Structure 1
């Protein structure tokens, strides 16, 4: 469990805080999306969770243990963190060496390092790139290497900051399928994203940030039920929500699920045909 208690963080004393009085709890097994416009504080929150930043005020706990004295290396035993720009965390000469770095730093045995490295490469589809120089890879390949590096440390939590940016549709689908499999194994995913269509398909819970304040924390359906709140947070409606809202006069209820929307439309058509 990760818990933030009344957390505030400011990069500069002369500026408003990037995160202001935020409290929230994320439990094992959840798939949580953090959304908001640029500068809303969503990335800052994940860096605080990872101890890359320390609160100006408030406390952060991991399983009831205050993380005040924890370093990012300490937190890496439990949380895998994937930056928005994979180049920020890639620095070794081969993909295999890059992915094995984390387990090495955690003190895994040589046998365990080999095991988790090979498993992470297989899961993320980069085994055929094992001997390549990471800097020469495409952006999507680098992203998969970065995720493999996080998975190789066998974390309970995985934080990803805008991981699907710049991906084509096919790569995006394969990438999200990988995250879904990871989540299905009982792990926790915290996804920072601007992609509302992706959010409604995969997330179970949404945290909306705006100007450093937690504007909303709840179910995906409840999040998109309030158009005014979406507008205030600078978020757009996903396609399913827009269509179901547009068909509301015909008796279609709000839904974030494509299958549910299709079933309602077919049911209405069947009733009209009858």
Structure 2
């Protein structure tokens, strides 16, 4: 079995007003996994990832990375092992060219000039940004900006990459392109934690799904198990992918033409999703 990379044990995080964002959550990720973290807004997803990065500290429980406790570690310490990509790439882009933006992290970590050049070239190649190295990053498309943010993270050679809703605001082609990039990085050994509301992405790309609801972990298993119809996932703010809802309702569809088929398929998808409510 692969080694446990991130181990969050019995974690509690409490807001200043006394409300709990996370309530005794256990969350372990093994090296090489591709994990999707899902749940409605306010369920605790982003709080969990911020704890992993030591951006905030828990009220109870413990966190280890690669077997080492992180209680005394800073975000800068964690950045040596975990790359964090925000939902809005503009929050982390500030240099005048794509190349300089990607080089910033390795520079701060004290890489040698040769290592910086090697890491930047590799990150540019992996993200398909080599030809845009001299461009001003804030003038790029949303999809390309997100790739710049990912390239900046992987240039520091992390063991893990955490991404918070990286496909939001992107068209389907950009989203697919980005997910294929993450799949390629995962195949090269980078562990992926993907925070997302998109069930289609979870079904297609993730090897494991973890669901939070009201600060508690309510599911941990494969996407197939999550969407097999045996759980009321609507109670957690989720709906099954359209293809899953459709597959559960195909029996009895008998259309005479394309327009009728479209209507029947739409009704079947709606019915399949309503079964989760």
TM-score, structure 2 normalization: 0.86
> How far apart are the structure 1 equivalents of 2:140 and 2:52?
29
**1:187 alignment partner in structure 2:** 190
Between the aligned partners of 1:26 and 1:131, the Cα distance in structure 2 is 37
Deviation, structure 1 residue 131? 1.6
Residue 225 of structure 1 aligns to a residue whose secondary structure is coil
1 CA distance for matches of 2:162 and 2:53? 9
1:255 matched residue in structure 2: none
1:160 counterpart = 2:196: no
Q: Which of residues 95, 100, 123 in structure 2 aligns to 1:120?
A: 123
Report the Cα distance in structure 2 between the residues aligned to 1:16 and 1:229, rounded to whole angstroms.
Answer: 25
Gaps of at least 5 residues in structure 2 are 254-277
1:159-203, Cα deviation, whole Å (9 max, x unpaired): 111001111122122111111111111221000001101110000
Match of 2:12 among 8, 12, 34: 8
1:229 CA drift (Å): 3.0
Following superposition of structure 1 onto structure 2, how do residues 198-213 of structure 1 map, counting pairs within 5 Å?
Answer: 198-213=201-216
* TM, length-normalised to structure 1: 0.87
Pairing 1:34–2:37 present: yes
2:105 corresponds to 1:102? yes
Cα distance, 1:226 vs. partner? 4.1
Name the stretch that deviates more: 240-249 or 48-57: 240-249
Count of aligned pairs between the two proteins:
249
Counterpart of 1:242 in structure 2 is 245
Distance 1:67 1:168, change over 3 A: same
- SS of 2:153's equivalent? helix
1 CA distance for matches of 2:58 and 2:214?
Answer: 17
CA–CA distance in structure 2, aligned partners of residues 215 and 229 of structure 1: 11
Work out the CA distance in 2 between the residues paired with 1:156 and 1:228: 33
| Aligned structure 1 segments of 4 or more residues deviating by more than 4 angstroms | none
**SS of equivalent to 2:110:** coil
Does structure 1 residue 62 correspond to structure 2 residue 60?
no
Unaligned stretches of 5+ residues in structure 1: 251-274
- Aligned ranges 1:260-271 → 2 under 5 Å: none
Distance (whole Å) between structure 2 residues aligned to residue 216 and residue 228 of structure 1: 10
Give the Cα separation in 2 of the matches to 1:213 and 1:229.
16
Between the aligned partners of 1:229 and 1:158, the Cα distance in structure 2 is 30
Q: CA deviation at 1:227?
A: 5.5
CA distance in 2, matches of 1:170, 1:53: 35
Equivalent residue, structure 2, for 1:143: 146
Q: Which residue of structure 2 lines up, in the alignment, with residue 220 of structure 1?
A: 223
> Structure 1 residue 93 and structure 2 residue 96: aligned?
yes
Provide the rounded CA distance (Å) in 1 between the counterparts of 2:6 and 2:175.
28
> Which secondary structure state, in structure 2, belongs to the residue aligned with residue 18 of structure 1?
strand
